[in-house]
């Protein structure tokens, strides 16, 4: 359905739905919130109870609907004056961008089984889930497992949500938090969540009454006075009991120690030697190898992001590289990806140190277009593991190939253009860091896709750090054909080398094939000599990767700018993002006060006489 086919609706009467319908979605189309009135089937008896939908066969019977989604609709008055609005069978409830500030007492009456609750992009100053009076949930949302309060007006951490006994995922980014002070019990509840997202405290934030601790890559000021008021008496008794027990154990251990010291010294020395070797097992690979740099292991980023290795469940290997392996896995009920060093290299201290440096970088990168880092784990440094989110569709290279082989390659309009935008957004984020982060290994294998074919950038480690010593090109097609000319000829380079690689990647996305060695050149020999010849031409600016005859003009213009031999003639990632957004979302551009005409857009990538790209 296009814009001219959208049916304008300003009133919705209670919907009569057949028993086979399980999902209901009402979305406002256009700029701003859409005003819609809801009325009952019998307009003569409006009352206050206005269900959005009932069973078509028997209005007195509950419907079979389990998922309701309302989006971009002004519900601010409806929620105050209406009761029993949603089917009691609702499990998944979304009210996104509905102008919500508060709710009337009866609006959610009848709901008891909601497991997924999304109130994102509203104006809520309170979470409206959980209970501030009792530790036992008594609201309509007691069954909620996943709660999304992203983009609201919360000013402090909504601790009451942890009165939801089954809560396992909490999303509260883009709120107005002014402090990140939490009690120990709340911090422990946050740590136990399967997934958590929120903004982070400013660098200037202080924690004078507590200690900074990290959970899910977010710092919290855990207050020193952590006793819960309601349980202070019982807690004191428990603490007293624990203290007495601890003293008793210490006395027994002291007696045993003295006895062994006096009568079994040789055995004690053997135990000490054995214990010492065990205690350093995460620092030493064995007694013949040098120690891993303690500064890396003690780095605050590593320490605060370390998770318990025993909670990891390793699955099958899904990716093999020159230096590492990636497995599917599970961490606290969440499906994850687990990256490890190859077994034949896991005993090499230098490999472990390099992997630790990669993990340290991964842990500080936080962006929707960067694969989410979850934590680092090991029981023995040979088993050092980086845990990240799992991307269902795998890497872009495999996705392009699979859809091409099926005879239904991805189209630019539906999937490729958004993927390009996502990659550019990731680069823009990396290049905006201080200091700037240069990926140095941008190619389709390092772009991962989720179940919605949304792209995220990955692999910031081993291969990236090795580029400086591999510019003589012994790495083959897996790396070399994406490298910028300035690197090939041994010049200094900066983030603009990533932009050149981005141009090569555009060729991959457009042709669904590798650059240079592909179906357009099926009979050409492919060896180290031929590879060196191609790279020599790339370094001299004499050859570029192919593009299809159906490649959109905007993409060709971007690619031409990115593949300029002189780095100064290439656009920035932020400029690419701006052009891609104008291309994909022209309505935003037309409604903007900074309107860019089609003629301007067509010439936006032209290289001027001064050899600078003008935007």
| Residue 466 zone, left/alpha/beta (φ > 0; ψ -120 to 50; rest) | alpha
Number of other residues whose CB lies within 10 A of the CB of residue 54: 20
Cβ neighbours of residue 224 closer than 8 Å, sequence gap 6 or more: 209, 210, 211
Query: pLDDT value at position 588?
Result: 44
Query: pLDDT value at position 246?
Result: 54
What's the domain range around 535? 394-602
Domain boundary among 389, 406, 441: 389
Cβ neighbours of residue 596 closer than 8 Å, sequence gap 6 or more: 582, 589, 604
Length of the chain: 615
| In 440-540, beta strands by DSSP E | 447-449, 455-457
Answer yes or no: is 367 within a domain.
Answer: yes
Query: pLDDT value at position 27?
Result: 85
Q: The sheet that has 218-223: what strands, in order across it?
A: 181-182, 218-223, 210-215
Contact 38, 76 (CB under 8 A): no
Query: pLDDT value at position 372?
Result: 92
- Do 465 and 545 lie in one domain? The reply is yes
Answer yes or no: is 259 within a domain.
Answer: yes
Answer yes or no: is 565 within a domain.
Answer: yes
Write the CATH number for 450. 1.10.510.10
Closest Cα to residue 106, out of 50, 185, 27?
A: 50
- Do 583 and 471 lie in one domain? The reply is yes
- Do 364 and 433 lie in one domain? The reply is no
- Do 564 and 446 lie in one domain? The reply is yes
Number of H helices and number of E strands within the chain?
A: 17, 22
Closest Cα to residue 509, out of 419, 578, 441?
A: 419
- Do 401 and 383 lie in one domain? The reply is no
pLDDT per residue over 373-411, tens digit each? 999 999 989 999 999 999 999 999 999 999 999 899 999
**CA atoms lying within 13 Å on the CB side of residue 13:** 9
Structurally, how many domains does the chain consist of? 3
- Do 323 and 470 lie in one domain? The reply is no
Rounded Cα distance, 489 and 502, in Å: 19
- Residues in the chain with pLDDT values less than 70: 1-8, 31, 41-49, 56-63, 105-106, 129-139, 225-290, 461-479, 518-528, 585-615
- Do 361 and 465 lie in one domain? The reply is no
Domain boundary among 344, 363, 389: 389
Query: pLDDT value at position 8?
Result: 63
- Do 507 and 368 lie in one domain? The reply is no
Rounded Cα distance, 576 and 562, in Å: 9
- Do 446 and 545 lie in one domain? The reply is yes
In whole numbers, what is the pLDDT of the chain averaged over residues? 77
Answer yes or no: is 255 within a domain.
Answer: yes
Interhelix angle 496-511/573-584, nearest 10 degrees: 30
Write the CATH number for 367. 3.30.200.20
Q: Which helix (DSSP H) or strand (DSSP E) does residue 257 occupy? A: helix 232-263
Query: pLDDT value at position 321?
Result: 76
Rounded Cα distance, 75 and 301, in Å: 43
Query: pLDDT value at position 249?
Result: 52
- Do 417 and 449 lie in one domain? The reply is yes
229 is written with which tokens?
């008021």
Answer yes or no: is 87 within a domain.
Answer: no
Answer yes or no: is 520 within a domain.
Answer: yes
Rounded Cα distance, 517 and 442, in Å: 18
Interhelix angle 496-511/417-431, nearest 10 degrees: 170
Q: What pTM was estimated for this model as a whole?
A: 0.53
Query: pLDDT value at position 593?
Result: 35
Domain boundary among 358, 389, 420: 389
Answer yes or no: is 185 within a domain.
Answer: no
396 is written with which tokens?
């872009």
- Do 562 and 484 lie in one domain? The reply is yes
Burial per residue of 67-105, b for 16 or more beta-carbon CB atoms within 10 angstroms, e otherwise: bbebbbbbbbebbeebbbbbbbbbbbbbbbbbbbeebbe
Answer yes or no: is 465 within a domain.
Answer: yes
Query: pLDDT value at position 600?
Result: 42
- Do 334 and 407 lie in one domain? The reply is no
């Amino acid at each position: 359905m296009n814009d001219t086919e959208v049916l304008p609706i300003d009133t919705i009467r209670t919907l009569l739905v057949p028993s086979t319908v399980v999902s209901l979605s009402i979305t406002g189309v256009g700029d701003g919130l859409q005003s819609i009135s809801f009325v009952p089937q019998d307009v003569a008896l409006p009352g206050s109870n206005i269900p959005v939908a009932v069973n078509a066969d028997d209005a007195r019977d509950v419907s079979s609907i389990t998922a309701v989604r309302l989006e971009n609709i002004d519900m601010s008055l409806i929620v105050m004056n209406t009761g029993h609005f949603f089917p009691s069978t609702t499990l998944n409830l979304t009210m996104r961008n509905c102008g919500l500030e508060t709710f009337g007492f009866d609006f959610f009456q009848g709901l008891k089984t909601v497991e997924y609750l999304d109130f994102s992009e509203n104006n809520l100053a309170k979470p409206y889930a959980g209970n501030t009076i009792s530790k036992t949930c008594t609201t309509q949302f007691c069954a909620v497992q996943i709660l999304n309060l992203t983009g609201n007006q919360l000013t402090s951490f909504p601790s009451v949500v942890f009165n939801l006994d089954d809560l396992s995922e909490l999303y509260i980014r883009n709120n107005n938090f002014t402090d990140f002070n939490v009690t120990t019990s709340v911090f422990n509840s946050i740590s136990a969540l399967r997934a958590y997202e929120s903004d982070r405290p400013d660098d200037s934030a202080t924690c004078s009454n507590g200690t900074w601790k990290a959970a899910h890559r977010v710092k919290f000021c855990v207050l020193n006075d952590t006793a819960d008021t309601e349980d202070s008496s019982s807690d004191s008794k428990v603490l007293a009991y624990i203290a007495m027990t601890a003293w008793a154990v210490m006395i027994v251990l002291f007696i045993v120690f003295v006895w062994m010291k006096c009568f079994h010294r040789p055995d004690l020395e053997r135990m000490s030697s054995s214990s010492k070797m065990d205690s350093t097992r995460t620092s030493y690979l064995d007694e013949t190898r040098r120690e891993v740099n303690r500064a890396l292991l003690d780095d605050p980023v590593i320490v605060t992001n370390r998770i318990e290795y025993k909670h990891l469940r390793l699955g099958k290997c899904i990716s093999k590289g020159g230096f590492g392996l990636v497995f599917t896995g599970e961490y606290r009920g969440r499906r994850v990806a687990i990256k490890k060093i190859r077994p034949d290299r896991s005993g090499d201290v230098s490999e472990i140190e390099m992997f630790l440096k990669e993990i340290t970088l991964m842990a500080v990168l936080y962006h929707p277009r960067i694969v989410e880092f979850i934590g680092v784990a090991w029981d023995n440094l040979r088993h050092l593991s980086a845990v990240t989110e799992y991307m269902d569709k795998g890497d872009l290279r495999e996705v392009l190939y699979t859809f091409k082989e099926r005879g239904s390659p991805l189209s630019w309009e539906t999937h490729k253009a958004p993927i390009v935008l996502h990659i550019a957004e990731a680069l823009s984020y990396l290049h905006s860091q201080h200091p700037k982060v240069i990926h140095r290994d941008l190619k389709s294998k390092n772009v991962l896709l989720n179940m919605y074919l949304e792209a995220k950038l990955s692999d910031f480690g081993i291969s990236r750090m090795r580029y400086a010593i591999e510019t003589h090109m012994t790495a083959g097609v897996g790396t070399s054909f994406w490298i910028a000319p300035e690197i090939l000829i041994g010049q200094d380079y900066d983030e603009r080398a990533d932009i050149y690689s981005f141009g090569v990647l555009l060729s991959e996305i457009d042709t669904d094939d590798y650059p240079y060695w592909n179906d357009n050149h099926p009979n050409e020999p492919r060896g180290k000599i031929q590879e060196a010849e191609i790279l020599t031409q790339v370094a001299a600016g004499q050859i570029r990767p192919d593009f299809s005859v159906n490649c959109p003009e905007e993409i060709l213009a971007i690619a031409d700018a990115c593949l300029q031999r002189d780095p100064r003639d290439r656009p920035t990632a932020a400029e690419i993002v701006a052009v891609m957004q104008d291309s994909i979302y022209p309505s935003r551009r037309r409604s903007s006060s900074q309107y860019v005409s089609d003629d301007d857009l067509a010439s936006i990538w032209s290289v001027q006489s001064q050899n600078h790209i003008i935007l």
